[in-house]
Amino acid sequence: EVLDLLAAHLLEFPETHRLGGSGIEVVGAASRLPAALAEAPLARASLLVQEDLILMRRGDSGWRLVAGSLCFPSS
């Protein structure tokens, strides 16, 4: 879901993102995922934007991290 939502939004910015043969890509970038991550949507999404992508799930005891791409943690 995250990759689909992000891709739909980024296509509104053709100067920086375009639809390529393998999906949405950053104009001028040559980013390729290792084969082991090729089917990992969150890893693919993390290559499209500079922001950290964090997925949280609410449970009985509060929120908890369930998945993410945190490239530059500050602490």
| The total number of residues written for the chain in this structure | 75
Residue 72, SS3? coil
Give the per-residue pLDDT at 23: 81
Q: Give burial (CB, 10 Å; 0-12/13-18/19+) of 45.
A: buried
Give the per-residue pLDDT at 31: 66
Domain ranges of the chain: 2-69
24, 41 contact by CB (below 8 A): no
Residues linked to residue 25 through DSSP beta bridges, in sequence order = 18
Higher pLDDT, 2 or 74: 2
Average of per-residue pLDDT across 5-16: 94
- Would strands 62-69 and 23-26 be described as parallel, antiparallel, or unpaired? unpaired
What's the maximum distance between 2 C-alpha atoms anywhere in the chain? 45
Higher pLDDT, 60 or 28: 60
Give the model confidence (pLDDT) of 31-75 as tens digits. Answer: 666 777 778 899 889 888 989 999 999 999 999 999 999 887 676
